[in-house]
Structure 1
């Protein structure tokens, strides 16, 4: 199984830090956010990784190279000419690099101790979402979960972690343009095509300077 790290976003809420540095290259405990992902992916057995780039995108391959330092091979899906295509659009553009098998996608601006599974089996579903307890900035949550089936509404709601496994056929009919992932997922959920699980370990959406400082403190204290 291949993995894709979404790393093309502008990171408006992280400004001014992202005026000069792409958000995935911001550091937590002295290490770039995206490097935490690469190390975890390599440790979990992934060998082929696709990274999409847009805002200040040239900096990312300059830092990461071909991935050989981590024992992986990195391919880059370049959105600099079009501008960031958002999550679904970015995945659509990268499909030629991801091949025809199911793949893992992880947001480049989250920190998570979830163990990525290169042997994950979607079984008869088209997507599998990793959900987490709702953080203070998303108290209402995104999705429900019942008997491992993701729901658009439920009595108890959970937050989408930005980590998921996808069947590539989900994206086949999308146009190559800016396209958000949430509407696509909600449509699949209505068709009962999305499974999920709850992860209750360490997870943070590093969306603001304050949250970056928080994860810095957590990792520095635990090291």
Structure 2
């Protein structure tokens, strides 16, 4: 299986580090977020990675070349001309996955000890278009699922916005973990162009397609988006990788 590491973002929350570096190279215990995630993927037998790049793209490319991909085969999806957000970035990277039945996508600034192999097996067993890793934790934005963990929508609890504007009260809130496993068929179903998010894709398709949530609430998960979260990551994950 191949994996796409989403590393093209500007990392504005991680300033001042990202004034001169990409967030993917932010250090945790002497290792970059990029290296930690690549080595974590290796624990589950994933040695082929595609990394999308934009902000200080050359630094990521040079690091991967210098470190020989940290032991993995790597390819670059270059968004240097224009950052395309997560959904647009996925669509641009489609040629790298033309021979894959399923593939994994995750944000480079998310750290977790989740069992990715179990997630992949669950995805393949249920034969879903997309499997979203989610948790029951506090957030301002949630995916909404029915009792069978099928995606029904999304909401921002701070603004009250819901997409689509569903009236169902029985849905359950789960926070997205930035990890997903996708079937190759996803590419033929994306009707958007330019910049758009993965969330947009899932909300477009959840009415007609099987998009499932997988609750991994017992696992460690940290969004390393702010300078203080780098310190927290150093403590939480010092014995994991």
Relative to the length of structure 1, the TM-score reads 0.88
- Do the aligned partners of 1:150 and 1:194 also contact (CA within 8 Å) in 2? yes
Query: For residue 157 of structure 2, what is the aligned residue in structure 1?
Result: none
Moved more, 2-11 or 100-109: 100-109
Paired with 2:66 and 2:104, the residues of 1 have a C-alpha distance of 19
C-alpha displacement at 1:65, in angstroms? 1.9
Query: For residue 195 of structure 2, what is the aligned residue in structure 1?
Result: 178
Query: For residue 160 of structure 2, what is the aligned residue in structure 1?
Result: none
Query: For residue 210 of structure 2, what is the aligned residue in structure 1?
Result: 193
Paired with 1:131 and 1:147, the residues of 2 have a C-alpha distance of 14
C-alpha displacement at 1:189, in angstroms? 2.1
Determine helix, strand or coil for the equivalent of 2:173: coil
Judged with a 3 Å threshold, the aligned counterparts in structure 2 of structure 1 residues 143 and 24 are, in CA distance, closer, same or farther, namely farther
1:101-138 per-residue CA deviation (whole Å, 9 max, x = no partner) reads 22100101111111223665164321000002324xx1
Paired with 2:69 and 2:127, the residues of 1 have a C-alpha distance of 36
Moved more, 207-216 or 159-168: 207-216
Q: Does 1:17 align with 2:35?
A: no
1:170-221 per-residue CA deviation (whole Å, 9 max, x = no partner) reads 2334455212111211122222510121112100111111222221232348
Query: For residue 95 of structure 1, what is the aligned residue in structure 2?
Result: 94
Aligned residues: 220
Query: For residue 121 of structure 1, what is the aligned residue in structure 2?
Result: 124
Aligned pair partner of 2:185 in 151, 155, 169: 169
Query: For residue 207 of structure 1, what is the aligned residue in structure 2?
Result: 225
* 1:41-80 equivalences in 2 (<5 Å): 41-65=41-65, 68=68, 70-80=70-80
- Do the aligned partners of 1:149 and 1:192 also contact (CA within 8 Å) in 2? no
Q: Does 1:107 align with 2:104?
A: no
Judged with a 3 Å threshold, the aligned counterparts in structure 2 of structure 1 residues 38 and 144 are, in CA distance, closer, same or farther, namely same
Paired with 2:185 and 2:65, the residues of 1 have a C-alpha distance of 30
Q: Does 1:132 align with 2:135?
A: yes
Determine helix, strand or coil for the equivalent of 1:134: coil
Determine helix, strand or coil for the equivalent of 2:134: strand
Judged with a 3 Å threshold, the aligned counterparts in structure 2 of structure 1 residues 222 and 103 are, in CA distance, closer, same or farther, namely closer
Relative to the length of structure 2, the TM-score reads 0.82
Judged with a 3 Å threshold, the aligned counterparts in structure 2 of structure 1 residues 9 and 69 are, in CA distance, closer, same or farther, namely closer
